[in-house]
Structure 1
Amino acid sequence: MSFRLRLAAWIAGPQPAPEVAPEQPRKPFTVSPEAVARSRIPPAQPEAEKLNPFKILPPPAGVLPDKSMAMDESALPGQSWAIQQAAAGLYNEGMAWLGFPHLSELAQRPEYRRISEIIATEATRQWIRVTAAGEDDKAKKIQAIGDKLKEFGVKELFQRITEQDGFFGRAHLFADLGQTEGHELATPIGNGADKVTKAKVGKGALKGFRTVEAVWCYPAEYETSNPLKPNWYKPSAWYVQGQKVHATRLLTFIAREVPDLLKPAYSFGGLSMSQMAKPYVDNWLRTRQSVADLISSFSVSGIKIDLANVLQVDADGLFRRVELFNNLRDNRGTMVLNKGSGPNDPAEEFFNVSTPLGTLDHLQAQSQEHICSVAGIPLVKFTGITPSGLNASSEGEIRVYYDGIEALQEKFLRPHLTTVINLIQMSEFGDVDPDIGFVFEPLWSLDDKAKAEKRKAEADTDAVYIDSGVLDPLEVRKRLASDDESPYAGLDVDDVPLPAPGEDNPPAPETNEEETEEAEA
């Protein structure tokens, strides 16, 4: 400092310290209406429409004939009462019929489709064997019946029927006797073996069979006033696109019947496998999507910031800041944070929260297993996933599953399959042989090793019985020749080979022709 400046400062004397403006109090934290408005994404979901489980849905246009009224267009006896008694809980969990359009949509999803396809495939995989009782030779009849079953594709038709019953709860099989329209279709043809069938079905009259989906069929006649009559809530005729067809010509398949009060609401069908599995499939789809969403965002990152001044007027700056953070949020990106240089410019702090993913596979697997439990299908059949763990095996579950399929065959397929075979006999032979029937082939089959062990055990048992005199070797030979699974099937029973020479069986002495003639004399 120069001499003049020091002199001026001495003359002026000490100067007072400059006044410092007091610090302004910080404004309280508030959230602007604009910020709240922009945070409302997505909007609230509307409440699901409640369904009436007893509501009778009309058929598609063209199913009923013109100027006709279905028997259930007005409330049936007991129907109004049932609607009044329906509780709100019945509207949920698939307690109301979904209708053919929605059931058709569900048939596109693999979770629903695999249930019906697996059951239909297993029920018709081994198919049937035509049998005959009695001592008469009926091989030609059995061969003719088998040829017609293959010609008409009955196995494939019954597989398709089982699938349709799983999709819609009802399926139909039309017996084609040469008429596809006209009043003759409204007349009965009997059960395939009675006098009515013999009068209606002549030799060569049967042309084949066809499946008809339930959506094209609507009940025409049924009893609603007297439960003691045979057609109580059981249609004796159906409308098929305006054409009235008797129930004996249009065989109806229903695997899971509903109570009488619900039959009109279900269009006189049964409970479909798709509707039974719907709550569990919905849970599976929601769990599957939630797991996928959680995996894609299991790590949540954020920035702590003082929002007192950010959200007071508008939130544009905040949302631009968030958008900038999201754009740079990557393993190869760089996030720039504000260190804070003033009282109104606070520093930012980064944080990260990660969700553990250790048990998601178990939760997702359990949701999928619930679908299998409703359908009664083993997990290895439904998903192809084999059990894991110590001594894990699915053999027992598959055996139990086959027991259920065999019960389904007897209950669901046998009645109408018997009618089909009777119609074939009536058309081929002019009569039905009561000694001819059929059996379903067993679904469980042994491998080559197990079959060899079984034959070895049976051979040891036969040897013990022969040695003790209980059986004769010829009886064992007959059993082996008649067993289709035996390697000796078709063996000539009478062509018994001579035993090999040995100590117990010395060779016969040689004789000339003269000694033989003298011995015979």
Structure 2
Amino acid sequence: MVKANVVTRHDFLSGHGKANQKDSLTRQTVSARRRLALTDLKELYAGNRLVQNIVDIPAEDMTRNWFTLKLDDDDLRQALEDKIRDLNAKQAFKSMLAYERLYGDGFVSIGTKETRNWDLKDELNPNRIKSIDYLHPFSRLKVSNFITNEDVFSTRYGDVEYFDIMRRNNSGIVDHNGQIFGQTKVHHSRLFHHVTRRLEDEYEGQSIMEPLFDTYTIFDSTKWSVGQILYDLTFKKLKSPGVDQWSREEKLAAQMELDFAFRTEALALLGVEEDLTKESTNVSGVKDLIDFVWEVLSGELRMPKSIIKGQEAGTITGAQYDVINYYNRIEAQQENELKPHLERLIRLLMQSEEFGRLDPASIDWELTFNPLWSVDKKTDAEINKIEAETDAIYIDRGVASPDEVRQHRIGDHGMSDLDLTNDEMDDGINFVRDQKKKPWWKKMMNKE
């Protein structure tokens, strides 16, 4: 009987053998997640401009160019737009989005007048709204408790049904009738609640700064280290006989005096046996380390470095594909996250007595967000030049007629934004034909 040889493979990643003795990577374990208190998040935001950019810029971009309301009834459309402007809804929703990024949850309270007596714990009935008088954004700092539906067979499973909200003024805690009390139970329908990062079985959303905190700490240390390098980039070294015999007080006094003199005076008077030299700090490789930290921070935020640093909003220069991808992501967030809140606000306004209790389902209306970005003038000119050269080649080689090119540009591409007349388009085509006669055009065609 022949026994087969059994070969067992011991992988060091499995934690056996040398892994426990030499390879430190295999001994890493999942650490407890970092939880930041609301007061810590507030201080972190207040004390650092980079954190403010991380929190504010996406919220500003999502609301910067606002939206267009498409409605056949121009009077109704204008009335709705005026009301939304009077409510300062743009600023309210921008603050709500920023609060959500910083604290994990953002809110906007809906201030209503209604046809019957009501309480904040009562569900908001759109058919009883007389008017909406204000929209007030606030953060999780005002919310003491989330009362969530945990029934897995409920249509609102996992959703918050009530919020315990602290209401106070400078003199104490009051309700809407002026009565002093502690906290109020508020039905979820009486406010807008925005949350995008919430783990299962957790009531509150997660701040974007919690998973980012370790990377931000490294970035903060990098700034401090660069400051130390700049401070000590060059320093003086003085050799003088008898220094080792000086007392501590003499050394400190001499150090202060010489440091002041060598920083403020260009001339140093030295003895025969003394020597003064300037030492420089070696900074090779520092830029690569700083770039690495920036790349990690940018990747975790899914924001280009130029955006985090405060690039002019909405302006794209040539080949900034990462910025284009960022704005495409913002557009997706507008559609998926912001649009439902805005559409709900418009429906509530339509159903209110102020707007004649209209039925939003019976009206053909649409909310579309305005474009977030456009190319700069130089890039736009380069694009138009390339398109014109391409059109001229098509016309010259019989691929398309001038009329077909005109229809293609007006109907499908960006030149429609220029609102050119037929005569202006003909002038452009004639200009390109004139360019074909010049040496640079013939040289280009010969290369092809």
Partner of 1:121: 60
Residue by residue, what CA displacement relative to the aligned partner does 1:417-474 show, whole Å, maximum 9, x if unpaired? 111111111121312333212111221335564796799799999xx69979xx9x9x
TM, length-normalised to structure 1: 0.57
C-alpha change, 1:143 and 1:221, in structure 2 (3 Å) is: same
Provide the C-alpha distance between the structure 2 equivalents of 1:287 and 1:160, rounded to a whole number of angstroms.
Answer: 30
**Counterpart in the other structure of 1:375:** 301
1:110 aligns with 2:59: no
Query: The residue matched to 1:188 in structure 2 has which SS?
Result: coil
Q: Distance in 1 between matches of 2:141 and 2:165?
A: 9
> Are the counterparts in 2 of residues 219 and 235 from structure 1 also a CA contact under 8 Å?
no
Counterpart code for 2:84: L
SS in structure 2 at match of 1:356: coil
- Residue of structure 2 equivalent to 1:283: 218
Alpha-carbon distance in structure 2 between the residues aligned to 1:139 and 1:352: 76
- Paired residue for 2:174? none
Quote the Cα distance in structure 2 between the aligned partners of 1:379 and 1:273. Answer: 17
2:348 aligned to which of 411, 417, 423: 423
Deviations along 1:46-65, whole A, 9 cap, x unmatched?
A: xxxxxxxxxxxxxxxxxxxx
Of 103, 107, 111, the residue aligned with 1:172 is 107
Determine which of 112, 117, 126 is the counterpart of 1:197.
Answer: 126
**What secondary structure does 1:96 align onto?**
coil
Pair 1:228-2:160 in alignment: no
Aligned residue in 2 for 1:433: 360
Describe the shift of the 1:208–1:276 C-alpha distance in structure 2 as closer, same or farther (beyond 3 A).
Answer: same
Distance apart, 1:284 and its partner CA? 1.7
Q: 1:114 to 1:178 in 2, by over 3 A?
A: same
- Identify which of 209, 219, 226 aligns with 2:135: 209
Alignment of 1:246 with 2:184, yes or no, is no
| Conserved 8 A contact 1:305-1:349 | no
2:131, 2:349 within 8 Å by CA — same for their partners in 1?
A: no
For the residue of structure 1 that corresponds to 2:96, the secondary structure is helix
The 3-state SS of whatever aligns with 1:221 is: strand
Alignment partner, residue 371 of structure 2: 442
Structure with greater strand percent: 2
Matches within 5 A, 1:243-282: 243-257=184-198, 259-261=199-201, 263=202, 268-282=203-217
Answer with 357-366 or 279-288: which moved more.
357-366
Against the structure 1 CA distance between its residues 228 and 273, is the aligned structure 2 distance closer, same or farther, given a 3 Å change threshold? same
Partner of 1:504: none
Q: Secondary structure at the match of 1:184?
A: coil
| 1:74 corresponding residue in structure 2 | none
Shift of 1:237: 0.9
Contact 2:100 2:139 (C-alpha < 8 Å) held by counterparts: no
Task: Check 1:230–1:322 CA distance in 2 against 1; reply closer, same or farther (3 A cut).
Answer: farther
Once the two structures are superposed, the pairs formed by residues 446-485 of structure 1 within 5 Å of their partners are 446=375, 447=377, 449=381, 485=417
Shift in CA distance, 221/466, structure 1 to aligned 2, threshold 3 Å: same
Which is richer in helix? 2
Counterpart CA distance in 1 for 2:416 and 2:373 is 16
Structure 2 runs not aligned, ≥5 long: 1-27, 167-182, 422-448
Paired residues in the alignment total 350
Give the conservation status (yes or no) of the 8 Å contact 1:120–1:160. yes
Q: Which runs of 5+ in 1 are unaligned?
A: 1-86, 190-195, 311-316, 340-347, 387-391, 490-521
Quote the Cα distance in structure 1 between the aligned partners of 2:158 and 2:292.
40
* 1:294 aligns with one of 226, 229, 244: 229
1:304 Cα deviation (Å)? Answer: 9.8
Q: Distance in 1 between matches of 2:237 and 2:387?
A: 69
Alignment equivalent of 2:35, drawn from 87, 92, 97: 97
1:138 equivalent in alignment to 2:77? no
Distance, in Å, in 2 between the alignment partners of 1:488 and 1:144 is: 33
Q: Deviations over 1:125-174 (max 9, x none)?
A: 22111124xxxx43333222222222212122111111111221111111
Q: Matches of 1:147 and 1:453 in 2, distance apart?
A: 41
1:270 CA displacement: 1.9
Q: Secondary structure of 2:367's partner?
A: strand
Q: Which of these residues, 171, 182, 188, is aligned with residue 123 of structure 2?
A: 188
- The structure number with the bigger radius of gyration is 1
Contact 2:53 2:310 in 1 (8 A): no
In 2, are the aligned partners of 1:302 and 1:351 still within 8 Å (CA)?
A: yes
Worse-superposed segment, 272-281 or 233-242: 272-281
Higher relative contact order structure (alpha carbons within 8 Å, sequence separation ≥ 6): 1
Question: Cα distance, 1:406 vs. partner?
Answer: 0.8
Q: Secondary structure at the match of 2:160?
A: coil
1:376–1:401 contact (8 Å) kept in structure 2: yes
Contact 1:300 1:352 in 2 (8 A): yes
326, 346, 362: which one pairs with 1:401?
326
What is the deviation of 1:411?
2.1
Output the aligned Cα RMSD. 4.2
Deviations 1:202-239 (A, max 9, x none): xx422232212221013352234x43334444320111
Sequence identity percentage: 18
CA distance in 1: counterparts of 2:402 and 2:75, whole angstroms: 35
Equivalence for 2:419: 487
- Encode CA deviations 1:52-85: one digit per residue, 9 max, x unaligned: xxxxxxxxxxxxxxxxxxxxxxxxxxxxxxxxxx
Q: Which residue of 1 aligns with 2:91?
A: 156
**Partners of 1:228 and 1:305 in 2: CA distance:** 88
Kindly report which structure 2 residues correspond to 1:264-343, keeping only aligned pairs within 5 A, or say none.
268-298=203-233, 299=235, 301=237, 318-327=247-256, 328-329=258-259, 331=262, 332=267
Instruction: Give the Cα separation in 2 of the matches to 1:385 and 1:404.
Output: 17
1:418 and 1:377, CA in 2 relative to 1: closer, same or farther beyond 3 A?
A: same
Q: Is the 8 A contact 1:111 1:281 kept in 2?
A: no
Q: Secondary structure of 1:178's partner?
A: strand
1:48 maps to what in 2?
none
In structure 2, distance between residues paired with 1:353 and 1:453: 54
Distance 2:149 2:237 in 1: 68
User: Within 2, Cα distance between the matches of 1:467 and 1:293?
Assistant: 66
Q: Is the 8 A contact 1:130 1:142 kept in 2?
A: yes
The one-letter code of the counterpart of 1:171 is: G
What is the CA–CA distance in structure 2 between the aligned matches of 1:252 and 1:349, rounded to whole Å?
A: 70
Q: 1:248 offset after TM fit, Å?
A: 0.7
